[in-house]
Amino acid sequence: MIKYLKMDSLIQNLISFLLSPQFEGWLLVLRIVFIIISLLFLLFIIFSLFSTQWLKELIVQDWVEFFTFRPYGIRRIKKIWNRIMARLESGLESEYKLAVIEADSLLDDILKRMGYLGQTLGERLDRLTAASLPNIEEIRVSHQTRNNIIHDPDYRLSLDEARKTLEVYEQALRDLQAF
């Protein structure tokens, strides 16, 4: 009990010293310095938030999704898809093949973002069921077409086959609500 009284007395003496008239001027200067430092830190935090992508990803994407009723990034996916479909109009078999490869890559990227595990699209497709993607078997056939294009340099792809393959990918993207 005596220790606590001595400690209490010591704290009271320290407080009275800090509030004494001779030290009061220094306290005011110290307060002003700490207020200025705090304001500088606050300005730095605000500047950092606006100069990085973090604030945009955290707030802007949520607001866009809320007001448009669509996931953020739909416009970018739609633009990529239109570029893929434009390849069919060229009349070149190499462009058809490239369109199928890009469509397969787009589906793979979307499945990765959705959190499906696997090293390749084939592994991710094995984890999907008909409930999550109704045309899963057609997608597997389309993915096999893509593998044939990649691994067989003599593989021939007609315009009709490329259109059918891209229709399968398009339906899969619609089922995944990617656009």
What's the pLDDT at 98?
94
Given a cut of 90, is residue 100 above it in pLDDT?
Answer: yes
Architecture of 72-175 per CATH? Answer: Up-down Bundle (1.20)
Other Cβ atoms less than 10 A from the Cβ of 69: the count is 6
| pTM for the model | 0.63
Confidence class for position 18, pLDDT limits 50, 70, 90: low
What's the pLDDT at 165?
95
What's the pLDDT at 65?
72
What's the pLDDT at 128?
84
Phi/psi of residue 16, each to 5°?
Answer: -65, -35
Q: How far apart are CA 65 and CA 56, in angstroms?
A: 13
**Residue 113 to residues 67, 102, 109: CA-CA distances in angstroms?**
22, 16, 6
Least confident segment among 65-74, 95-104, 123-132: 65-74
